[in-house]
Chain A
Amino acid sequence: MSKDPVDTDIIMGCINNDRRAQELLYKKFYVAMASVCTRYTQNENDTLEVLHNGFLKVFKNIQSFDPQKASLYTWIRTIMVNTSIDFIRQNQRHKQHIDLEQAAEPYVESDAMHRLNANELLRHVRNLPAATQTVFNLYVIEGYTHKEIGIKMGISEGTSKWHLSEARRLLQKSLKTLHVA
């Protein structure tokens, strides 16, 4: 179980399908997990759908959580990311078969990024194609390698690189349009 005694109580409650414990767990990790889901989705409805699917998996499988392997936060976050990827897969109509071993790295000025607030940045990220947005999130935010992203998304490593490059290019373009960059 988790080292945190509060977490332990919550986990035990969730294993027993106790609504109050589930509510506590949900609210404890809500902001962080909602942020994760927000990054992978295009709108609030999708965010909540992914978030709730993710938490449902958490509640259904919490008995398999092993605190020796990872913290509860990491475990839940992993579930959320995977749920987001599943969601994107299900909603991705046209799978792109693009392979790019070496993508050019577009440059976005750091100062311009600083001037953007989170909402504006989110709007630009959400303008990216779903797969590109996902790869961008997985690589930039979650810190996965292209190999890991490839495995998770069922794409090749090269495709993952292409998506990342594409994400950066589109973001640069988008920010230039706004005269930020």
Chain B
Amino acid sequence: MNRKIPYDKILADKMEHLPVPDMEASWQKMRSILDNEMPVAEKKRPAAGKWWLGAVAALLISGALLWYTHTEKQADIHPPAALIESTIRFPETAPGKNINKTDRTQDADDSRSTPVSTAEKAVEAGSPGIIRKKTAEAHLNSDKNVYITEAPGTGPVGKNLPANKPAADPRVYTEPIPEKKLHAAVSNLHSSEISENAIPNDKTSFFSRSESATVIHATPASVPVENLLYTDSKNISAGSYIGRLAYTLPESEAVRKAALRQLKRQQRKDERDMARSYSTSRSLWGEQPDRWFAAGVAPFQNVAVGNQKTYNYGAGATRSMVTDYIPAPYLQLHVTNRVYVQSEFQFNAPQSTPALLLDQRNAVAPMSPGILYENTYLRKLYYFNIPVSFYYSPVKNFYLGSGVQFSSLSSGLATVEQMGANNTQLASETITLKDDALSSNLRGSEWRYLLDATYYINRFSFGLRYSQALNNYIDLKINNSLPPSQARNQAIQLSMRYNIIVSDKRR
């Protein structure tokens, strides 16, 4: 123990309470030293940087959906021989007046054709009023009841040629049905009191049945190209196979192109039919057979909401804002004509923010009176967004949607403003926030809920979306004298979508 003389104690007491420099300014200097000597490790963003996993997953899902759709379509086109048993019936209620064509594989879809249920029963009961159309095997067996045969693997317009029937010209596939047999079949139908209206003059190439709005094209190989029409199973309720009897691609390139154009027109007509079928939908959730798939791109524009401020700088902290307008690819699965699900990938979606104080530093300039302040304000954020929405159409073409969105912070913009005495601005600079100490104050990823309204016109759709984050993206207290910086993301997004790829309507 040391030996203090009396005034030492007085000195010690007095020296314990010396005036000290300003604590806040001192901490700012200490913080700078710490930033240099002990930099803060970047906060781990569990989802940030793994957005590509989401993209890959979405691609896999969409690929699986496409494959599934394609497989289903193939199944429709190539039904197993054992399952093909199309029938042309004369309902018992009005024998000979109606021709109805059904397929057992499509029973579920025949609910709209009232005669079918009776006819089905008749089929099962072996009613004599039914003319059976059996498989190729039946045809080969010279079954007298078979007047039209259909081989498995017969597909539309030169596609899906059966492996066991290679054509000499790969563009031409001819169903091996003797023309006379087809004539005989038509004559047979005609003799069964089919109305003249239902059978046009060229009986070999066309016959129609107005009652069920079914259009059937049956064309043997010898039919001229101009008589060939596109036959689409989607148009034929209950999925008939008669239309696939013969498909011939024209020899001439010009005519072939014309045929393809006609094919396109028919596809457009199908899409219009799809829209028209809306009014006939009785179900609250729409018609199941309207399942189809679309993909496209959507330019979008985010609008500042509330106290957010638009900041006219691009992601690179420059005046160029091209990257703010990268269109977002999207995928849509239309489950019914009233319902669809959509996912989207917004790679660099700008998000307006209020001018929040991110950092404040004080400094004493040798030649300047007073203290200089260097304030850093948040201006803009960029996110990688994956919204997934569920849409329902209460009225034709108009859809209301809701869903969730995963947002991963990509980068941000901030301005550093140097303020002198009397609060005069000495300098201002826009900086990028990415993988630095400032951006570590921002939440790396977040979930948002979405509300969406979309108007559909053919392949175009126009959307208005509101999204709101579930958590604050910033909750920062700079010092005791300033209020904390807190904010939650919200956005209004305008978009215009165009379906580049539209799958065939299923069933």
The interface residues of chain A lying within 8 Å CB-to-CB of B20 are: 30-31, 34-35, 38, 47
What residue of chain B has the Cβ atom nearest to residue A55's Cβ? B30
Task: Kindly state whether residue A93 has any CB partner on chain B within 8 Å.
Answer: no
By secondary structure, the A interface counts as helix
Q: Contact between A27 and B27 (Cβ–Cβ < 8 Å)?
A: yes
User: A139 — which chain B residues lie within 8 A by C-beta?
Assistant: 2, 4
Complex interface: chain B residues within 8 A of A117 (CB): 14
Q: Taking CB as reference atom, which chain B residue is nearest A112?
A: B7
Total number of residue pairs linking A and B with CB closer than 8 Å: 103
**Given A34-B26, A35-B20, A19:B34 Cβ within 8 A:** yes
Q: B21 in the interface, Cβ–Cβ < 8 Å? A: yes
Does A121 have its Cβ within 8 Å of any Cβ on chain B? yes
Mark contacts of A89-132 with chain B using CB atoms, 8 A cut-off: 1 yes-contact digit, 0 otherwise: 00000000000000001011110011011110110010000000
Are B12 and A35 in touch, CB under 8 angstroms?
no
Q: Is B306 an interface residue when CB atoms closer than 8 A count as contact?
A: no
Question: In the complex, what distance in Å separates the CA atom of A59 from the CA atom of B38?
Answer: 9
Is A26 positioned at the interface, with any CB of B under 8 Å from its CB? yes
Contacts of B64 in A (CB 8 A): none
Contact indicator A51/B2 (Cβ below 8 Å): no
**B33 interfacial contact with A, CB 8 Å:** yes
Tell me if B482 is interfacial: C-beta within 8 Å of chain A.
Answer: no
Complex: chain B residue closest to A138, CB-CB: B2
Given contacts A17-B40, A26-B30, A118-B19, contact A110 B10 (CB under 8 A): yes
| CA gap between A122 and B21 in the complex, in Å | 14
CA distance A23 to B28 in the complex (A): 9
- On whether the beta carbons of B29 and A35 are closer than 8 Å, the reply is no
Is B1 interfacial (CB-CB < 8 Å)? yes
The residue that B15 contacts in the complex, of A19, A109, A122, A144, with Cβ under 8 A, is A122
Chain B nearest Cβ from A100, distance in angstroms = 15
Contacts of B10 in A (CB 8 A): 110, 113-114
A47 & B34 in contact (Cβ 8 Å cutoff) = no
On whether the beta carbons of B17 and A35 are closer than 8 Å, the reply is yes
Contact A141 B16 (CB under 8 A): yes
A52 within 8 A of B: yes
Inter-chain contact A27/B23, CB cutoff 8 Å:
yes
Measured CA separation A19–B23 after assembly (Å): 16
With most chain A CB atoms within 10 A of its CB, the pick from B8, B11, B19 is: B11
CB-based contact A56/B34 at 8 Å: yes
Determine if B6 is an interface residue (Cβ-Cβ < 8 Å).
Answer: yes
Name the CB-closest residue of B to A110. Answer: B7
A125–B15 CB distance below 8 A: yes
Chain B neighbourhood of A119, CB < 8 A: 18-19
- State which size class the interface on B falls in: 20 to 34
Shortest B309–chain A CB gap in Å is 28
Min CB distance B391 to A, Å, is 44
B12 touches A141 (CB 8 A): yes
| Chain B nearest CB, measured from A159 CB (Å) | 15
User: By the criterion CB–CB under 8 Å, are A38 and B1 in contact?
Assistant: no
The 8 Å CB contact of A56, one of B5, B15, B33, is B33
Query: Assuming the A-B contacts A31-B20, A44-B21, A52-B29, are A60 and B38 also in contact, with contact meaning beta carbons closer than 8 angstroms in the complex?
Result: yes
Tier of interface size on chain A:
35 or more
* Residues of A with C-beta under 8 A to B38: 17, 56, 59-60
State whether the Cβ of B365 lies closer than 8 Å to any Cβ in chain A.
no
Interchain CB contact under 8 A, A35 and B16: yes
Report B-chain residues with C-beta under 8 Å of the C-beta of A48.
21, 26, 29
- Write the nearest CB–CB distance from B27 to chain A, whole angstroms: 6
B124 beta carbon closer than 8 Å to chain A: no
Chain A CB within 8 A of B169 CB: no
B112 CB–A CB distance under 8 Å = no
Q: For the complex, is B226 an interface residue (Cβ under 8 Å from A)?
A: no
Interface residues of B in 19-62 (CB under 8 A from A): 19-21, 23, 26-27, 29-31, 33-34, 37-38, 40-41
Tell whether, in the assembled complex, residue A140 and residue B11 are in contact, meaning their CB atoms are under 8 Å apart.
Answer: yes
Interchain CB contact under 8 A, B15 and A35: yes
User: What is the CA–CA distance of A38 and B33 in the complex, to the nearest angstrom?
Assistant: 20
Q: Is the CB of B15 within 8 A of A51?
A: no
Q: Given A52-B33, A56-B33, A145-B1, do A140 and B26 touch, yes or no (CB 8 Å)?
A: no
Residues of B within 8 A of A113 (CB): 7, 10-11, 14
A154 at the interface (CB under 8 A from B): no
Task: Check B14–A116 contact: CB distance below 8 A.
Answer: yes
A136 — nearest CB in chain B belongs to which residue?
A: B11
Question: Which residue of B has the minimal Cβ distance to A120?
Answer: B14
Expressed in whole angstroms, the Cα–Cα distance for A52 and B335 within the complex equals 66
**A23 engages B29 (CB within 8 Å):** no
In the complex, per-residue mask of A6-50: 1 if CB is within 8 Å of any chain B CB, else 0: 000000000001110011001100110011001100001001100
Using a CB–CB cutoff of 8 Å, the interface residues on chain A facing chain B are 17-19, 22-23, 26-27, 30-31, 34-35, 38-39, 44, 47-48, 51-52, 55-56, 59-60, 105, 107-110, 113-114, 116-119, 121-122, 125, 137, 139-141, 143-146, 168
**Chain B positions near chain A (C-beta within 8 angstroms):** 1-2, 4-8, 10-12, 14-21, 23, 26-27, 29-31, 33-34, 37-38, 40-41
Ordered by A's residue number, 25 sampled pairs between the chains whose C-beta atoms are within 8 Å are A17-B38, A23-B31, A34-B18, A35-B16, A35-B18, A39-B15, A44-B21, A51-B26, A52-B26, A56-B33, A56-B37, A59-B38, A107-B5, A110-B6, A113-B11, A113-B14, A116-B14, A121-B14, A121-B15, A122-B15, A122-B19, A139-B4, A140-B8, A140-B12, A141-B15
A44-B21, A113-B11, A145-B2 provided; 7 other pairs, C-beta below 8 A? A27-B27, A30-B27, A34-B26, A55-B30, A109-B7, A117-B14, A144-B2
Closest 9 CB pairs of A and B: A34-B20, A113-B10, A140-B8, A35-B18, A113-B7, A38-B18, A108-B7, A110-B7, A141-B12
